[in-house]
């Protein structure tokens, strides 16, 4: 990950995941709020289960791609952890990033482990910054704040299942992590080739302010997508005449009942 592309890759994964979560949670919340308009036709329990399986598969795919990129991209360790001839560890930074992707892959297969897997980057980054320059440490500390915030939200979701505020906040913090990974790449490995002064305090002040802009942009993006999805669902339901419950098959009634308990 010691390059611009190495930071852009996980950043892109986080952005895609955040937008997916925002759309999914907004859609589910909009259908639950519009039960009287027959929203069960748009989001049955079986359809939601299929979406969960698809989400887990995509998350696992992203994690595997990330691990392979860290190990086999240019100058990667290629699964060699220890260099015996030189008696030293080999590319531990890449191995730390591989470990981070490994925990993301575990989260894709076990939703109950999401809290632990979300907190893993915090633990890794605490020992990731030794001997770095001042600005390098600072931009990674900003990332830690976003990771810790998302971990706390995931923990609260264990006790408040289906709370749309927590779900959208998790999406916003995930989007913040994605955009901030891109920002770290621009600061430490600028594509233009113009290097930042990593010891200038003014640059630290600007980066801190920039983090606030990223946070505001993430919250506004999630809020806009939520409003757009809610309006789209309600508009679609109003254009479609509701089905009479008496005309539904017994299986359809059961699905409607299951949806109401969510």
Q: Which of 100, 89, 111, 112 is nearest to 140 (CA)?
A: 100
Contact 181, 13 (CB under 8 A): no
Report the pLDDT value the prediction gives residue 34, as an integer from 0 to 100: 67
Higher pLDDT, 187 or 96: 187
Is residue 239 exposed (0-12), middle (13-18) or buried (19+ Cβ within 10 Å)?
exposed
Alpha-carbon torsion, ordered 14, 18, 21, 22, to 10 deg: -170
Average pLDDT value for residue range 89-106: 84
Average pLDDT, the chain: 82
| pTM score above 0.85 | no
Contact 143, 125 (CB under 8 A): yes
- Would you tell me how many other CB atoms lie within 10 Å of the CB of residue 133? 13
- For 110, the token pair is 């076990």
Count CA within 13 A, CB hemisphere, residue 246: 0
Residue 67, pLDDT > 80, answer: yes
Task: Determine contact, residues 23/229, Cβ cutoff 8 Å.
Answer: yes
What's the chain's Rg over C-alpha atoms? 22
């Amino acid at each position: 990950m010691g390059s611009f592309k190495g930071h852009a890759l996980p950043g892109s994964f986080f952005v895609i995941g955040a937008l997916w979560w925002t759309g999914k949670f907004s859609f589910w919340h909009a259908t639950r709020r519009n039960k009287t308009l027959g929203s069960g036709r748009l989001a049955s329990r079986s359809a939601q289960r299929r979406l969960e399986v698809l989400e887990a598969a995509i998350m696992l795919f992203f994690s595997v791609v990330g691990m392979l990129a860290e190990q086999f991209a240019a100058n990667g360790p290629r699964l060699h952890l220890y260099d015996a001839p030189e008696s030293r560890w080999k590319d531990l930074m890449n191995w730390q990033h591989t470990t981070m992707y490994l925990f993301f892959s575990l989260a894709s297969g076990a939703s109950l482990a999401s809290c632990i897997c979300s907190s893993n980057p915090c633990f890794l980054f605490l020992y990731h910054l030794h001997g770095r320059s001042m600005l390098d440490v600072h931009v990674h500390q900003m990332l830690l704040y976003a990771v810790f915030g998302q971990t706390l939200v995931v923990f609260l979701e264990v006790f408040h299942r289906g709370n749309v505020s927590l779900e959208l906040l998790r999406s916003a913090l995930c989007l913040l992590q994605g955009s901030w990974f891109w920002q770290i790449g621009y600061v430490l490995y600028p594509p233009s080739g113009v290097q930042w002064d990593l010891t200038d305090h003014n640059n630290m002040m600007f980066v801190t302010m920039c983090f606030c802009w990223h946070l505001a942009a993430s919250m506004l993006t999630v809020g806009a997508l939520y409003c757009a999805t809610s309006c789209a669902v309600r508009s679609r339901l109003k254009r479609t005449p509701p089905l009479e419950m008496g005309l539904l098959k017994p299986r359809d009634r059961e699905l409607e009942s299951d949806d109401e308990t969510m």
